[in-house]
Amino acid sequence: MYLSKVTMKSSPQTAQELAKLQRNGVYASHQLIWQLFTNDAERSFLYREEIGATGMPEFYVLSKTEPQANLPIFSSVTKVFEPKLDKGQRLSFKLRVNPTVCVKGEGGKQRRHDVMMQAKYSVKNELLDAQKLKMHMEQAAIGWLSNEKRLDEWGITLDCQPAIDGYTQHKVQKKRHQIQFSSVDYQGMLTVKDPLKFINQYAKGFGRAKGMGCGLMMIKRA
């Protein structure tokens, strides 16, 4: 695997790309990152978008193939990413993920719903004030990440309740189709229980909407 930090150069072409990001959010970011992998037939990367100190977008990209260098709008630093982890090792983490829950609707069909919006819907008849409603929604998101079966599949445990740093609802246009999903930003501490499971999951990404900037976990040794 390769881990890259990608920043945008100042140029007229960059200004055009920034305008696209403002219009179409994460799908424009997805198309932008694809420019680093034009030789790949299928998407083989995860990415996380942040705003840098200069106010410009910057991207952390995990990929199976090495991204192209010396592109007109990008400046990138790439290194081989082969983390050596031990059972019982503690890591701090940040994760932007798309948490969903399956709900049976009319006709018995299962449909995926945003965990936090589903939590809000579940108490629609209760007179909760804004603060209590926010706490209820955040607890649903924390419960999703803390699910023991999910954590076991990922090869980790959480050392404490994770913090929620952000919740964003995305609405983007992909050709003739509109895509809607949400993302939640978590941070916290984890312990590696099965290094092989964790690294395999890490390479695949966590949760859904991985092509839209979700699923890349940023980790640091505690």
pLDDT 10s digits, 22-41: 666 788 888 888 888 888 87
- Token output for 114: 């945003």
Query: For residue 102, what pLDDT is reported?
Result: 82
Written as six digits, the tokens of 134 are: 């926010």
The pLDDT score that the predictor gives to residue 15 is 67
CA pair distance 67, 3, nearest whole angstrom: 9
Q: Provide the whole-model pTM.
A: 0.86
Q: What is the mean pLDDT of the chain?
A: 88
Give me the amino acid identity at 21: L
At residue 208's C-alpha, the angle toward residues 205 and 211, to 5°, is: 70
* Residues sharing a CB contact under 8 Å with residue 72, sequence separation 6 or more, in sequence order: 9, 11, 13
Query: When comparing pLDDT for 127 and 91, which is higher?
Result: 91
Give yes or no for a contact between 163 and 188, defined as CB atoms under 8 angstroms apart.
yes
Find, among 85, 96, 222, the residue nearest to 166 by Cα: 96
- Of all residues in the chain, the percent with pLDDT exceeding 90 is 51
Give residue-wise pLDDT tens across range 39-76. 887 888 999 999 888 778 899 999 999 998 777 788 88
Query: Could you give the domains of the chain?
Result: 2-80 (3.30.70.1200), 90-221 (3.30.70.1210)
In the numeric block, the tokens 């050392």 are attached to: 159
Please check whether residue 166 is in contact with residue 184, taking contact to mean a CB–CB distance below 8 angstroms: yes
Pairing between β-strand 57-63 and β-strand 45-51 as defined by DSSP bridges:
antiparallel
Residue in the block written with tokens 């939590």: 119
The long-range contacts involving 65-71, CB below 8 angstroms and separated by at least 24 positions, are 65/2, 65/37, 65/39, 65/40, 66/2, 67/2, 67/4, 67/6, 67/36, 67/37, 68/35, 68/36, 68/37, 68/38, 68/39, 71/35, 71/36
